[in-house]
Amino acid sequence: MKKKSGTSELTEKILEILRRNPDKLYKTKELARSLGISPRKYSSFRNHLKKLVEKGDIIREKSNLYGLPKPRSVVEGKLVVKAQGFGFLLMPEGEQDIFISANNLGLGLNGDTVKVQLFATTRGKRPEGRVIEVLERGHRYIVGTLRKGKYYHFVVPDDLRITRDIYIHDSDLNGAEAGQKVAAEIVHWDDEFLNPEGRIVKIIGFPGEPGVDVMSVVASYELPLDFPQEVQKEVEAVPVKIPRQEIKRRLDLRDVVCFTVDPEDAKDFDDAVSLARLENGNYELGVHIADVSYYVRPGMAADREALARGTSVYLVDRVVPMLPERLSNEICSLRPETDRLTYSCLMEVTPAGEVISYDIRETVIHSNKRFTYQDVQAFWDGRKTVEPDLATPLNQMRELARTLRRKRMLNGSLNFDTPEAKVILDKKGTPIDIRRQVTLESMQMIEEFMLLANKTVAWFVEGLRTDEGTPPFIYRIHEKPSSEKMQKFSEFLEALGFKVKLTGRVTSKNLSTFLNKIRGTNEELVIENVMLRSLMKARYDTDNAGHFGLAFKFYTHFTSPIRRYADLEVHRLLKLYTADGWQEKIKPGLEKKLDDICQQISEREVVAQEAERTSVKMKQVQFMADKLGEDFDGIISGVVHFGIFVEIVDYLVEGLVHISDLDGVYEFEEKTYTLRSVTTNHAFRIGDPVRVKVVRADPDESVIDFILVEKKERKQKRGKSRSRKARAAK
């Protein structure tokens, strides 16, 4: 009789546990404990669970809970609707998302939590269903423009993914006028063949009035601009002066030379750095973080509000902060020449970039100076001088940061050098220029030091591991990409002419090596964007799965507690785990509480990112509205069945060339991201350089349309790029 392999035996044991309680869902750690999985084998055990999910043997629900698959005809989840009208019900990793046609959306809107009736599946095709019930609306308000029809008013949503106008009875206008931007809420909708009825809850203003555009984004994403009175009163009572006994209790680093390095427009400074050369030739690198947890305690109204917000949101013209300004910009901010309470990660680092010891301590510092990134870069470039006691550590920091970065890249950390757009506004909020954000070496220096501190803190918690596992903690994780997504990415690369095999066991080092090979080619930015979409999204979790993109086995967020709740909670956990007898101080239910926090802050992070992108896109469209009729060089950044998306190289602005504006008849080849002429074999592919004319820029709909002026010779361009790179390599 053939003996079962080790993996088959493990699978049977896992299934046996799940079959005992078929309705129960288990966390990874719970299964590992039941099976006696040693800490050394925990990582491979987690990977084994992931493979079982991919095979369909087990399922994974939210918060990484595992169970047996159940025959289902009805499923629940979040509905995501595309601008084209169709949608998808998002399913847990390892399960295919369910397609919902426009005719089957029922009463569902983008972002809603819904119940979906599944249709009978066709072999090899994506599962499909119909929305039968809305469990929870994704948005309380729908922001749009109020219009007046012949018999009634209605709101046309700004979000193209919301495909229904909202009827407004005259008695529910609440003073709003046709043409204004408003926020409406749905008050009645029970027939999918009729449009929803609503009422105006907020008048934002007429388009074109200063600030109305960004306030529309604030309302759309329900971002809270003001803090509740309870929070304001609580924060006003916080004393600025640090109690003498608190300073005495802490490690006093006020005599250590340290400073902050931040963007020019920064108002809150939550990290300072210090560096000293030790007698043994190593460095002592200090990363000193504002100790927000001293001022914001669990149970406070400010803490509840910070968790609800999850993160600060950086819109194009303003910040929606996680904490009130008195805390974020004053009491906690590491202002120069001022004593401040901090939480420090002090690391002894060799010249080769190895951390050989560390100390995580509550401290008090006195920042010597506030630098901007431009200040430090100007000093290094010889365009500016600094005080002698700051010059030496700055130069040593540059040397150490270069070593850390080089080491990280060699280990397989992914280096996405995708440029970001910086929109320049005048005093009225009108966009007057769009510039590429330049990545300075001074920025990279601070990034390396923050990454090292985050990694070191996570290693500290791993060092507390016992036979029972590690204590409950919040990790910043980035899971390995699925084999299905990597297969599609490989097919995309092949369509561009790159012979790369990325199936099987894909590592960050594989991808990093490939990224280095395409540096300098015309396809570089497009490939990076597609690769980013092929990877998993980073998130917070209590179950450490490592950080694929950084190639870190352990990672967390420790360095930004003023603007991220994750870091604030991590500080509290670290204070617990560095105290004597911490094992007895862990309260029951801590891991469940942290699971809930991880889910909340991960969701709020997504909202913040979408709001930030929307605010930038809106200003980009406004900027291009003055460029109608002008020609620009661009690169094809996306290909879909209804046309090609082109990004203008100078401004990083994307618009659509509709298929109806292309000469001839074209067919869409999904696998190769190509539009190909049915008569001439002429093709448009991602990465092709083109020249376009701006024919439409509609700020209300946030849409830019181009027409093609000419298509440049792609092969010649690509050949030149590669030959330039080859010459540089020699």
Can you tell me whether residue 693 is helix, strand or coil?
Answer: strand
Per-residue confidence at 4, pLDDT binned at 50, 70, 90? Answer: very low
Instruction: Pull the structure tokens for residue 120.
Output: 């009978």
The pTM of this model reads: 0.87
- Concatenated DSSP letters of 649-691: TTTTEEEEEEGGGSSS-EEEETTTTEEEETTT--EEETT-EEE
User: Can you tell me which residue has the tokens 């009108």?
Assistant: 430
What is the mean predicted confidence (pLDDT) over 171-197? 94
**One-letter amino acid identity for 414?**
L
Can you tell me whether residue 648 is helix, strand or coil?
Answer: strand
pLDDT score of 290? 98
For residue 168, the cross-strand partners are 153, 198
- Concatenated DSSP letters of 131-182: EEEEEE-S-S-EEEEEEE-SS-EEEEESSTT----EEE-GGG-TT--TT-EE
Antiparallel, parallel or unpaired: β 475-477 and 431-436? unpaired
pLDDT digits (tens, 9 = 90+) for 490-503: 888 887 788 777 76
What is the mean predicted confidence (pLDDT) over 382-397? 95
Can you tell me whether residue 398 is helix, strand or coil?
Answer: helix
HSE-CB at 241 with a 13 A cutoff on CA atoms is 3
pLDDT score of 714? 42
Contact 174, 201 (CB under 8 A): yes
pLDDT score of 482? 82
Q: 291 Cβ partners below 8 Å, 6+ apart?
A: 332, 341, 342, 343, 362, 561, 571
pLDDT at 718 over 60: no
Q: Identify the H or E element spanning 718.
A: helix 714-729
Give first-to-last CA distance, the chain, whole Å: 61
pLDDT score of 124? 61
pLDDT digits (tens, 9 = 90+) for 442-474: 999 999 999 999 999 999 999 998 877 899 999
Spatial distance between the Cα atoms of 511 and 499, rounded to a whole number of angstroms: 13
**How far is residue 196 from each of residues 106, 167, 187, 188, measured CA to CA in Å?**
12, 6, 8, 6
Instruction: Pull the structure tokens for residue 556.
Output: 């967390």
User: Which of 109 and 96 is assigned the larger pLDDT?
Assistant: 109
Angle at 117 (CA atoms; ends 113, 118), nearest 5 degrees:
115
List the one residue out of 465, 420, 412 whose CA is nearest residue 438.
Answer: 420
For residue 321, the cross-strand partners are none
CATH of domain 74-136: 2.40.50.140
HSE-CB at 165 with a 13 A cutoff on CA atoms is 12
List the one residue out of 533, 516, 493 whose CA is nearest residue 686.
Answer: 493
- Compute how many other C-beta atoms are within 10 angstroms of the C-beta atom of residue 262: 20
List the one residue out of 503, 528, 505, 604 whose CA is nearest residue 563.
Answer: 604
Fold of 622-729: OB fold (Dihydrolipoamide Acetyltransferase, E2P) (2.40.50)
pLDDT score of 160? 85
Instruction: Pull the structure tokens for residue 417.
Output: 């050098």
Burial annotation 544-571 (CB, 10 A radius, 16+ → b, else e): bbbbbbbbbebbbbbbbbbbbbbbbbbb
Contact 115, 133 (CB under 8 A): yes
User: Which of 194 and 418 is assigned the larger pLDDT?
Assistant: 194
pLDDT at 596 over 90: yes
Spatial distance between the Cα atoms of 714 and 729, rounded to a whole number of angstroms: 23
Spatial distance between the Cα atoms of 654 and 646, rounded to a whole number of angstroms: 5
Tell me 586's DSSP state. P
pLDDT score of 645? 94
**One-letter amino acid identity for 540?**
Y
Phi-psi label, residue 642: left if phi above 0, alpha if psi -120 to 50, beta otherwise: alpha
Instruction: Pull the structure tokens for residue 666.
Output: 């074209």
For residue 77, the cross-strand partners are 114
pLDDT more than 70, % of the chain: 95
Spatial distance between the Cα atoms of 100 and 81, rounded to a whole number of angstroms: 9
pLDDT score of 30? 85
pLDDT at 600 over 80: yes
Spatial distance between the Cα atoms of 112 and 715, rounded to a whole number of angstroms: 46
* Burial class, 247, CB count within 10 angstroms (exposed 0-12 / middle 13-18 / buried 19+): middle
Angle at 558 (CA atoms; ends 275, 516), nearest 5 degrees:
75
pLDDT score of 711? 53
What is the mean predicted confidence (pLDDT) over 215-239? 95
pLDDT digits (tens, 9 = 90+) for 258-276: 999 999 988 889 999 999 9
Fold of 142-206: OB fold (Dihydrolipoamide Acetyltransferase, E2P) (2.40.50)
What is the mean predicted confidence (pLDDT) over 707-723? 50
Distance of CA 34 to the CA centre of its chain: 34
**One-letter amino acid identity for 509?**
K
DSSP3 helix / strand / coil % (the chain, rounded to 5): 35, 25, 40
User: Can you tell me which residue has the tokens 């983008």?
Assistant: 110
For the chain, where do the domains classified as CATH 2.40.50.140 start and end?
74-136, 622-729
What is the mean predicted confidence (pLDDT) over 65-92? 85
Range of lowest pLDDT (96-110, 244-258, 364-378): 96-110
Per-residue confidence at 127, pLDDT binned at 50, 70, 90? Answer: confident
For residue 477, the cross-strand partners are 539
R_g (Cα) of the chain, nearest Å: 27
Can you tell me whether residue 577 is helix, strand or coil?
Answer: helix
Contact 380, 391 (CB under 8 A): no
Per-residue confidence at 728, pLDDT binned at 50, 70, 90? Answer: very low
List the one residue out of 632, 656, 549, 540 whose CA is nearest residue 595.
Answer: 540
Is CATH 3.90.1010.10 the right assignment for the domain spanning 6-67?
no
pLDDT score of 630? 96
Per the prediction, the chain carries an average pLDDT of 89
Can you tell me whether residue 407 is helix, strand or coil?
Answer: helix
For the chain, where do the domains classified as CATH 1.10.10.10 start and end?
6-67
Distance of CA 562 to the CA centre of its chain: 18
- Compute how many other C-beta atoms are within 10 angstroms of the C-beta atom of residue 62: 10
pLDDT digits (tens, 9 = 90+) for 642-697: 999 999 988 999 999 999 999 889 999 877 778 999 888 888 988 889 999 999 99
Beta strand extents in 63-137 (DSSP E only): 65-67, 74-81, 87-90, 98-100, 113-118, 129-136
pLDDT digits (tens, 9 = 90+) for 306-342: 999 999 999 999 999 999 999 999 999 999 999 999 9
pLDDT score of 1? 38
Spatial distance between the Cα atoms of 317 and 306, rounded to a whole number of angstroms: 21
For the chain, where do the domains classified as CATH 2.40.50.700 start and end?
142-206
pLDDT score of 496? 76
Per-residue confidence at 437, pLDDT binned at 50, 70, 90? Answer: confident
- In this structure, the dihedral spanned by the alpha carbons of residues 642, 635, 530 and 100, taken in order and rounded to 10 degrees, is -20
Instruction: Pull the structure tokens for residue 226.
Output: 């003001």
